[in-house]
Structure formats: C-alpha cells, structure tokens
Amino acid sequence: MAYDHQEQEQLDSFKAFWSKYGNIIVWVLILALGSFAGWNFWKTHQANKSIEASALYDELQTSLLANDNAKVQRIAGDIRSKYESSPYTQMAALAAAKTAFEANDLKTAKAQLQWAADNGNDEYKSIAKLRLAGVLLDEKAFDDALKVLNGTFLPQFTAEVNDRKGDVLVGQNKLNEARAAYVAALAAMDAASPARQLVQVKLEAIGGTVPADKNGKAPAADQKAAA
C-alpha cells in the first residue's frame, strides 16, 4: 500500500505539473518541429534552385561557345531574375559582358559588369571592376575608368589594377604617373608571372626603366632578353 500511495502522489504531482505547463510544452514542441521542417524545406528548396541555376548556366556556356550574344543575354537575365543570390548569377553576368563586348555592344557589357561590381562577392567585384575599367578605356572614358580603378579591390589584384591604371594614364598622356603605375604593377607581380614582360615593354615604351631587384640586378626576364 505504501508503494501505491507513493505512486499516486507522483501521478498527482505530474497531473498538476502538466495542468500548469502542458500547453506551453506542446506549443514549444510544435514550434521546434515546425522550425525543423521549415529548415529542411529551405535546404531542399535551395538545393533545387542551385541545380536549376546550374542547368541554365550550362545552357549559357553552350550559347557562349556559339557566340550567340542575344541568347547569352537572355539566359543571363533569366538566371538573375530567378536565382539572384546564386553564384551562377555573378558568373553569368561576367560571361554576358564578354559576349556583349565581343559583339561591340558596349552599353550591355558595361551594364552587366556594373551589376557584378555592385552585387557580386569580393572576388567577382574586383574582376568586374577591372573589366569595366577596360571597357571604359576602350571608350576613352579615362576619368570614369580611373574612378573605377581607385575603388576597393582585393589585395591579389594590386598588380592588375596598377597595370590598367598605367594604360589609362597613357591614354591621358600623363606619362610620369603612368610610369609610376607600371612600376607599382611590376613591384606587386610575382617574378615568374608571364604578364611581367608585357608591363615592362609598356613601361619602356614611355621612357620608363624597369626597376632593379634589391641586389641591383635587372629582372631575370630582362637579363635573358639582353643575352
């Protein structure tokens, strides 16, 4: 009987507890289960969107190889409107800018690059701004190109930015500043970079001198050329 009495007390205690907190517990469980289901749904939805965006991007690449600028622009627009937060949208914008530039549609090329510069991640922003400055250079919009190049870039693009600044400054006939930009580009470049020789040629073409290394020697590429 003592056991039965103790059991009854526990049962009464549980009933009192459930009467007081039962509704709260039920709602907490409902919310937790709902959140879990919502999270799973969101993950599945995002995965499906990524697959769809990838399929569209593959189609864009096919059109890119076919030099079908109109179709590339259409697909890039579809990707942006449906999957704006996807990395494929940034890649599509750069690809669409390339085909537009090759089709001499500079207005569209600039629009695609500006979108990527405004909406891409840091690496895509840097790439887009470099290419946008190149298009502006071709249009001889030198001030606009410098404005873009004076913006923020990832450190690994320092050489390319200074190289392009040099090109723009040459276009403005600001040769002293252009020489300084090319020297800065060389200083930021890896010694084995295949781009070094082109920058050296541009620097020397405007009366500049390729800087010696810390030992006072000309760069290896120059020594080989001199030999």
Residue where one domain finishes, among candidates 89, 116, 143 = 116
Any domain includes 214: no
Q: Which of 153, 199, 157 is nearest to 179 (CA)?
A: 199
205 and 138 within one domain: yes
pLDDT of the residue at 39 = 47
Domain presence at residue 221: no
Domain end among 116, 141, 165: 116
Tokens representing 108?
């569209």
Last-in-domain residue among 116, 134, 151: 116
Q: Find the domain containing 48 and state its range.
A: 23-116
Which of 51, 71, 66, 118 has the alpha carbon at shortest distance from 90? 118
pLDDT at 96: 94
Residues 6+ apart with CB under 8 A from 126: 153, 154, 157
For residue 36, the model assigns a pLDDT of 55
Contacts of 212 (CB under 8 A, 6+ apart): 218, 219
Model pLDDT, residue 200: 94
**Structure token digits, residue 214:** 């810390």
Q: Give a yes or no: residue 64 inside a domain.
A: yes
Same domain, residue pair 29 and 111: yes
Torsion of the alpha carbons at 174, 179, 181 and 184, rounded to the nearest 10: -170
Do residue 108 and residue 127 come from a single domain?
A: no
In a domain, 223, yes or no: no
Answer yes or no: is 182 within a domain. Answer: yes
The pLDDT value given to residue 150: 96
Model pLDDT, residue 57? 86
Residues 111 and 130 grouped into a single domain:
no
* Backbone dihedral angles phi then psi of residue 203, each to the nearest 5 degrees: -65, -45
pLDDT digits (tens, 9 = 90+) for 23-82: 777 676 676 666 655 544 445 544 555 677 788 888 888 988 888 999 999 999 998 888
Distance CA 124, CA 79 (A): 16
Q: Which residue type sits at 171?
A: G
Q: Letter for the amino acid at 152?
A: T
Total residue count of the chain as it appears in this document: 227
Q: Are 27 and 112 in a shared domain? A: yes
* Domain count of the fold of the chain: 2
CATH assignment at residue 175: 1.25.40.10
Please tell me the predicted confidence (pLDDT) of residue 86.
83
pLDDT < 70: residue spans in the chain: 1-12, 14-15, 17-18, 20-22, 26, 28-29, 31-50, 212-227
Are residues 58 and 112 located together in one domain of the fold? Answer: yes
- Regarding whether 83 and 61 lie in a shared domain, the answer is yes
220/64 Cα distance (integer angstroms):
39
Answer whether residue 84 is part of any domain: yes
Inter-CA distances, 12 with 3, 16, 17, 20, 82, Å: 14, 6, 9, 12, 58
Q: Quick one: 73 and 107 in the same domain?
A: yes
